[in-house]
Structure 1
């Protein structure tokens, strides 16, 4: 994915809403959440729940796993930024994931 296409999770779901030409209040009502909460999620001020991600995926008819990947990649990126860690940490994490999968 090129950098021009990269978006935060909040930006991504805002784009889904805007592409569908739906106002925030309508989407919030349809998802049974407070409009201010949806706005905060779109601005990356609040983290969504897994259930919310599933709801949004069903609402916009997008792949739930793809949407969760968008969310999880944000969490990982922010964690690396917050810890001022080197990007090489991802290589180590990838190796650990491979190792931990063998332990299951």
Structure 2
């Protein structure tokens, strides 16, 4: 299963020359847990995503988008009507967005 969020976290951490222990400390978690998040064995909590964005110096919502995509994929990956459901949800989301404008 895809792990876009964890893969991106690892890439950004390495690009910023940060150790797992540094990020884990800032997130108030331990290094093994961060390692599992990077490998896709555990999910980051949604509340942690803005902290990752700040620590790794990325645009707001860049990592949230990946995190949410992983959540959706996990939910629908084994569903035969996944694409139809996503299409319907996309239309609903667009309608909600238009109504907020």
Asked if these proteins are the same fold (TM beyond 0.5), I'd say yes
Give unmatched runs, 5+ long, in structure 1. 1-5
Give 1:1-104 correspondences, 5 Å limit. 8-101=4-97, 102=99
1:44-102 CA distances to partner (integer Å, 9 max, x unpaired)?
A: 11111222101111111112311101110111122221334442332111112234454
Flag the structure with more relative contact order, 1 or 2, with Cα contacts below 8 A and sequence separation at least 6: 2
TM-score by length of 2: 0.80
Q: Would the aligned equivalents of 2:3 and 2:39 in 1 still touch at CA under 8 Å?
A: no
TM-score by length of 1: 0.78
Give unmatched runs, 5+ long, in structure 2. none
What is the CA RMSD across the aligned residues, in angstroms?
Answer: 2.2
Give the whole-Å Cα distance in 1 for the aligned partners of 2:50 and 2:85.
29
Give the whole-Å Cα distance in 1 for the aligned partners of 2:85 and 2:96.
16
Between the two proteins, the alignment pairs up a number of residues equal to 98
